Amino acid sequence: MNFCSHCGAPVSLKIPAGDSLPRHVCEQCGTIHYQNPKVVVGALAEWEDKILLCRRAIEPRYGFWTLPAGFMENNETCGEAALRETREEAGARIELGSMFTFIDLPHISQIHIIYRARLLDLEFSPGEESLDAILLGEADIPWDDIAFRSIDYTLKCFFEDRRKGEFELHSTSFAIPSPGTYR
């Protein structure tokens, strides 16, 4: 951030009175520009013993597999974000279950939240940001080609809980990026 989005004057990094962290502060109009973590929301949608996965048609991680998920927008709920992303990326209609994974990624200032869900019909097809959208059983999950660590974690929790016959909320935090690739 170089300029004030309110008045267009240069900003400088300083700790405002009564604050403890440096912020971008406008030299001219005094506006303090806070920057906050972003929330990514998605769905793990089931159909019989299979789950809905998408192959990414965009960077980062072009060609890798993920659950339908994306940045939450202003003026929507987390649940609405999960429904919207699933419709956009997989063309799929789902019924939402409860929150399943809640993952802090402080190194990239993101929270990833995945809900359990039930696919309502088989009328789905990949959206613009996906190369494929398909149903896969546990034996066919491409474990070496999962796009993000939070998705890998979510899938592993899911199959483990399914074996136990009991699903619970899994919270974790990934403080350090995986070696080699941006995740």
String of DSSP letters for 9-48: -BEEEE--TT-SS-EEEETTT--EE----EEEEEEEEEET
List binders of its own copies among 64-103 (CB under 8 A).
Answer: 71-80, 88, 98-99, 102
Binding string, 14-53, against its own copies, x = CB under 8 A? ----x-xx--x--------xxxxxxx--------------
Residue 128 contacts its own copies per CB under 8 A: yes
How far the first Cα of the chain sits from its last, in Å, is 24
Q: Are 32 and 108 in contact (CB under 8 A)?
A: no
Residue 7 contacts its own copies per CB under 8 A: yes
Residue 180 contacts its own copies per CB under 8 A: no
Q: Are 110 and 72 in contact (CB under 8 A)?
A: no
Q: Residue 173 CB, nearest distance to its own copies (Å)?
A: 5
By CB under 8 A, the count of residues binding its own copies is 45
String of DSSP letters for 40-89: EEEEEEEETTEEEEEEESSSSSTT-EE-SEEEPPTT--HHHHHHHHHHHH
Of 25, 67, 111, 147, the one binding its own copies (CB under 8 A) is 111
Q: Residue 76 CB, nearest distance to its own copies (Å)?
A: 6
Residue 106 contacts its own copies per CB under 8 A: yes
Q: Residue 61 CB, nearest distance to its own copies (Å)?
A: 18
Q: Residue 162 CB, nearest distance to its own copies (Å)?
A: 20
